[in-house]
Amino acid sequence: MSRDAIDNAKKESVRTRLLEAALTSIRRKGYSATTVDELCAIAGVTKGGFFHHFKSKEALGVAAADYWSQMTSGLFANAPYHEPEDPLERVLAYIDFRNALIDGPIEEFSCLVGTMVQEAYGSSDAIRAACDASISGHAATLEADIEAAMEKYGRIEGVTAQSLALHTQAVLQGGFILAKAKGGPEVARESAAHLKRYISLLFTQ
């Protein structure tokens, strides 16, 4: 391996450690309460190292949203909810999969971008846009199955594949907020279960 390749690998390792630290800290205590000093301590990086990779905390927030999308996209792409032949069953299996992930400490199952945008939407347009891209981008992965379910079971007045896909995220994100308010995961699981019942009834009533 060349010297340049080694140096690039080291740089990427430092950047990745900072992003992983951001995922941990922001999900646990929020964006505003997460400091650059704390991120450097968690990642084992100097402040100079931080600002070598990110010109500001806001830049780190934007990169963290993108990193979160990259990390989670692989999880969802390879998840078993894609296996059923029936498109409605795939949508319902997606909700079951999301429900199964709601376990353990709140910071382990809550959404980084959902957490971050609640704080930064009014103060950082760059972070707001990055979080929107992440949430909307994930919702878009459901649209083909929802569209296929509509083709099979019939169109629903006032409902599009895009709007229903975004609604799934609204319910899930809302469940995470309630879990934080209640101090436990049960209410988030119940919200996901209600979402499954709602979508099932929507297509089969």
C-beta atoms surrounding 172 within 10 Å: 24
Distance separating alpha carbons of residues 45 and 21, to the nearest angstrom: 11
pLDDT tens for 6-28 read 234 345 689 999 999 999 999 99
Instruction: Report pLDDT digits (tens) over 106-153.
Output: 999 999 999 999 999 999 999 999 999 999 999 999 999 999 999 999
For residues 14 and 24, what is the distance between their CA atoms, to the nearest angstrom?
A: 16
Cβ neighbors of 162 (< 8 A, separation 6 or more) are: 139, 140, 143
Spell out the domains of the chain, with CATH numbers in brackets.
Answer: 61-204 (1.10.357.10)
Helix residue ranges, H only, 78-122? 87-100, 106-109, 112-120
pLDDT surpasses 60 at 4: no
- Whether the model clears a pTM of 0.85, i.e. scores above it, the answer is yes
Candidates 81, 106, 111; CA nearest to 96 is 81
Q: Where are the alpha helices (DSSP H) in the chain?
A: 3-29, 36-43, 47-53, 57-77, 87-100, 106-109, 112-120, 125-140, 143-153, 161-182, 186-204
Tokens 């499954």 locate to: 196
Give the pLDDT confidence of 24-80 residue by residue, as tens digits. Answer: 999 999 999 999 999 999 999 999 999 999 999 999 999 999 999 999 999 999 999
Tell me the C-alpha distance between 113 and 122, whole Å. 14
